[in-house]
Amino acid sequence: MNPNIASRLIDMAQRYPGNIAVAEPSGGGQYRTITFAGLNRDSDAVADALLKSGFKPGMRLALFVHYGIDFISLVFALCKANITLILIDPGMGIRRMLNCLAEAEPDGFAAVPAVHLVRLLMHRRFPKAKYHLTAGHRWCWGGLSLHEIRQQVRQQPPVNFTPVPPQEEDLAAIIFTSGSTGPPKGVAFTHGMFDTQVSEIANRFNIQPGEIDLACFPFFGLFDAAMGVTAVIPDMNTSKPAQVNPAKIVEAANRWKITQSFASPAVWNRVADYCTKTGKRLETLRRAVSAGAPVPAAILRKLKPCIHPDGDIFTPYGATEALPVAVISASEVLGETAAKTENGGGVCVGKRFAAVSWKVIQITDEPLQWNEIRELPAGEIGELIVTGKQVTKEYVNRPAANRASKITDTENNVWHRIGDTGYLDEQDRFWFCGRKAHRVVIVDESGTEQTYFSIPCEAVFNRHPKVFRSALAGSPAGTVRMFIEPLPEHFPSTPSEREQFLAELRELGRSHTLTAAIADIRLLKSFPVDVRHNVKINRELLTAMKN
């Protein structure tokens, strides 16, 4: 079978030509739409224009266009031309973004005009970038214009384009990590990995052609088209999900009668609060999917009554380098695992996907060879390693990161060290206990080490009714601290209220063996979070705080 994800779009265009593939807001409550047949023709035309104007298979093109029809069509066009796309989250900031671009060594840009202006100003950082496409008004630079390509298509018969067939191991994309737990790194995705991701997601969730998805994360919109699912693009800034207007999400969900939706926990938290306050529901939503960070049981409890009575919420687990790895439903969490989580047992992320194999090994911060790993028994906390067809094999231009994060076994399978701690239970479910980098190791006066894992310790303090979330962190002095973000309405307004609140938190900590020794507790009005999902707490910044 052709591993190119674009072959799936071609198939859907033949089977469901008139079905809407993508719907994006166009202002005034209206939507611009394109059918599967139209999306296939549009991406054919762009791919054909790229190759005829000098672009070559194997080139790297940095993609910076607004999430919607243009984004999805361009991704499929690049896949059809076997041109590697480079994806970087603009939310990481201009300096980091420029560093990532320089590291990826693009041969050109497919971008909106503002990005092309930056490219011109910084052209010395991208010496290979000589092939360009503009989505929008093209000013003083050359290259192709997406608008002009589409004009030509309207004036001429559709192009008879044959996609460039890639090998399974050909590079399809370089996608940069968010940088929430270290410098952003370019992850190498092959065509075979993308194809496996689509198969695994469709099979595990039983996603069927003809469904309608409110896609609050760009890559799910892309996968929708490959599965025959209509992707409705929400009216939101996908780089700032915590600032979403929940009324717009609910309105779009009910207007389009969506059957599924993928969104960050930050989005679902706002939607659940809005529905609880207004009495509105997402009447047709049967499959809500949330990822990016562990989803608190409190959010699942709030959201579940807001969707279809027969629906459920699913929380896939993985990383940019390995996705998806596992998944669990809200029904399983609320009915079984939440009680253990709240008592410091970690967060159960469920059972692995069929194409994944995993092991929990003894924790070390050093690079590992296969003969050096020590696999741990069920119930013992260690670090998770995974392998499978959707697990990436390398970072781009990062030999040190590859040595630190990849292990090759005796059968030449590459295992990825996810960087998470936790344990497997007797049902082969993984219980997440926090990032390896976020564990705090304290050495007492006798030289004995004690390790604090973030998720179990934080769960103890999260039981306080006035706490929104908590964060374990070290300190410049080498001690352990617990930061608390109260619910906004419960942040102490006087010194006496503050002291009372802290006393209650210390007493709560002393009540559990995991946290009995944590006496340094600090309050913050808000935590620093990641740029992609707005939910991962930046504990490195908290650790560096001197006061």
227-246 mean pLDDT = 93
Q: What is the 3-state secondary structure (H, E, C) of 322-372?
A: EEEEEEEEHHHHHHHHHHHHHHHHCEEEEEECCCEEEEEECCCCCCCCHHH
Phi, psi of 436 (to 5 degrees): -60, -40
Mean residue pLDDT of the chain comes to 94
pLDDT at 535 over 80: no
Lowest mean pLDDT among 5-19, 171-185, 278-292, 361-375: 171-185
pLDDT at 179 over 80: no
User: Distance (Å, rounded) from C-alpha 115 to C-alpha 145?
Assistant: 14
pLDDT of residue 267: 94
Residue from 89, 188, 172 nearest 416 by CA: 188
pLDDT digits (tens, 9 = 90+) for 70-111: 999 999 999 999 999 999 988 788 899 999 999 999 999 999
Residue from 355, 308, 378, 341 nearest 459 by CA: 341
Which residues touch 516 (CB under 8 Å, ≥6 apart)?
A: 509, 510
pLDDT at 445 over 80: no
pLDDT of residue 533: 61
pLDDT at 269 over 80: yes
Angle (nearest 5°) at CA 237 between 60 and 16: 70
How many Cβ atoms are within 10 Å of 61's Cβ, its own excluded?
Answer: 24
Better pLDDT: 47 or 221: 47
Residue 495 tokens read as: 């010194």
Better pLDDT: 528 or 63: 63
pLDDT digits (tens, 9 = 90+) for 299-357: 999 999 999 999 999 999 999 999 999 999 999 999 999 999 999 999 999 999 999 99
pLDDT of residue 181: 65
pLDDT at 477 over 90: no
- Tell me the percentage of the chain whose pLDDT exceeds 90: 84
Domains for the chain: give ranges and CATH numbers.
6-233 (3.40.50.980), 324-435 (2.30.38.10), 439-544 (3.30.300.30)
pLDDT of residue 157: 79
pLDDT at 192 over 90: yes
Better pLDDT: 181 or 57: 57
pLDDT of residue 534: 65
pLDDT of residue 527: 94
pLDDT band for position 544 (cuts 50, 70, 90): confident
Q: In this structure, what is the dihedral angle of CA atoms 88, 90, 93, 96, given to the nearest 10 degrees?
A: 10
271-290 mean pLDDT = 97
pLDDT band for position 532 (cuts 50, 70, 90): low
User: Distance (Å, rounded) from C-alpha 288 to C-alpha 192?
Assistant: 27
pLDDT of residue 446: 80
pLDDT at 530 over 80: no
pLDDT at 182 over 80: no
Helix (H) or strand (E) holding 314: strand 312-319
